């Protein structure tokens, strides 16, 4: 029997372009949206599917990767090896996107599941989707914590290697998109290394433009600012660095910038 993951992979594998939205997958497979969402989140994180946001649409497209196709192909081969002499029956009720040899139905048994069996399957799929989503969130939190700790350790070593006397002119950078608490955390770690001008997303556009033209580099938290902000920066002929992620990501990028500036000044 197919798992929720395998059913999603098999459906996409049967499409000409291997691409569909979550809603299309859920409708085609008659699976709960939460289950499909969990399956897509898991598959995207581990490289079995890619996620692409289409301009003008709120629904992203999910595309099956080579790794995802390998999983469904391996599953098919596994079933063939486990029953090499059995020839799969042709089941006209089987959707075209599912390999028919995965479903073995003895002629003497009913092919339609009971209401209770269907309810149990739906409940199991929903639980798998929920558990997958929670595990993914936990993993993301652990990874970000590890990145933040590594950045902090690297900063401590870098600061110790620089002269004890604070330089008169620190490289000036602009950071757009952090909230106040995040600003203070970044300021505490980089105060001796960078002259950081923080811009809040609610600040006036003119303030943003004035700041970026005076900075050596501009960093934009791409997941938390609007398109109008990036366009305003580009109108000043400044090319911003787009940072994906949270505070751990901006710390890592700022650290790399400090190291680069330090090497150039050596």
Q: Which region holds residue 161: left if phi is over 0, alpha if psi is between -120 and 50, else beta?
A: alpha
Query: Alpha carbon of 15 to those of 53, 62, 69, 98: distances in Å?
Result: 19, 12, 12, 11
Q: For residues 191 and 188, what is the distance between their CA atoms, to the nearest angstrom?
A: 6
The answer to whether residue 26 scores a pLDDT higher than 70 is yes
- In this structure, the answer to whether residues 68 and 17 fall within a common structural domain is yes
- In this structure, the answer to whether residues 27 and 120 fall within a common structural domain is yes
The answer to whether residue 200 scores a pLDDT higher than 80 is yes
What is the DSSP code (8-state) at residue 30?
T
Average pLDDT over the chain, rounded to an integer? 77
159 within a domain of the structure (yes/no): no
- In this structure, the answer to whether residues 13 and 127 fall within a common structural domain is yes
- In this structure, the answer to whether residues 120 and 236 fall within a common structural domain is no
- In this structure, the answer to whether residues 8 and 131 fall within a common structural domain is yes
Q: Which domain holds residue 109?
A: 4-137
Q: What is the mean pLDDT of residues 174-185?
A: 93
Predicted local confidence at residue 31, as pLDDT: 83
- In this structure, the answer to whether residues 93 and 8 fall within a common structural domain is yes
- In this structure, the answer to whether residues 16 and 133 fall within a common structural domain is yes
153 within a domain of the structure (yes/no): no
- In this structure, the answer to whether residues 20 and 116 fall within a common structural domain is yes
154 within a domain of the structure (yes/no): no
142 within a domain of the structure (yes/no): no
Q: For residues 55 and 181, what is the distance between their CA atoms, to the nearest angstrom?
A: 32
- In this structure, the answer to whether residues 88 and 206 fall within a common structural domain is no
Whole-prediction pTM value? Answer: 0.41
- In this structure, the answer to whether residues 169 and 93 fall within a common structural domain is no
- In this structure, the answer to whether residues 205 and 94 fall within a common structural domain is no
What is the DSSP code (8-state) at residue 188?
H
- Total of domains in the chain: 2
- In this structure, the answer to whether residues 88 and 209 fall within a common structural domain is no
Predicted local confidence at residue 233, as pLDDT: 94
98 within a domain of the structure (yes/no): yes
157 within a domain of the structure (yes/no): no
The answer to whether residue 131 scores a pLDDT higher than 60 is yes
Percent of the chain with pLDDT over 70: 68
CATH code at 8?
1.10.10.10
182 within a domain of the structure (yes/no): yes
Q: What is the mean pLDDT of residues 40-53?
A: 85
CATH code at 170?
3.40.50.2300
Looking at 137, 153, 183, the residue that finishes a domain is 137
């Amino acid at each position: 029997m197919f798992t929720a993951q395998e059913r999603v992979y098999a459906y996409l594998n049967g499409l000409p372009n291997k691409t569909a939205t979550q809603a299309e997958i859920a409708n085609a497979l008659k699976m709960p949206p939460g289950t499909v969402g969990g399956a897509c989140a898991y598959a995207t994180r581990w490289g079995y599917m890619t996620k692409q946001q289409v301009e003008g649409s709120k629904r992203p497209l999910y595309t099956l990767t080579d790794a995802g196709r390998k999983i469904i192909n391996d599953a098919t081969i596994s079933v063939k090896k486990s029953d090499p002499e059995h020839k799969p029956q042709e089941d006209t009720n089987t959707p075209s996107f599912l390999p028919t040899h995965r479903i073995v139905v003895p002629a003497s048994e009913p092919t339609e599941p009971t209401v209770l069996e269907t309810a149990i399957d739906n409940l199991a799929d929903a639980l798998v989707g929920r558990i997958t989503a929670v595990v993914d969130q936990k993993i993301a939190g652990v990874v970000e914590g590890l990145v933040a700790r590594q950045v902090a350790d690297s900063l401590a070593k870098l600061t110790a290697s620089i002269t004890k006397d604070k330089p008169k002119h620190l490289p000036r950078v602009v950071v757009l998109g952090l909230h106040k608490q995040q600003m203070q955390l970044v300021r505490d770690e980089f105060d001796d290394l960078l002259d950081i001008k923080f811009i809040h997303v609610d600040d006036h556009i003119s303030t943003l433009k004035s700041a970026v033209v005076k900075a050596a580099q501009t960093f934009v938290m791409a997941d938390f600012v609007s398109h109008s902000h990036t366009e305003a920066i580009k109108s000043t002929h400044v090319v911003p660095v787009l940072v994906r992620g949270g505070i751990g990501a901006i710390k890592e990028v700022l650290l790399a910038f400090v190291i680069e500036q330090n090497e150039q000044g050596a």
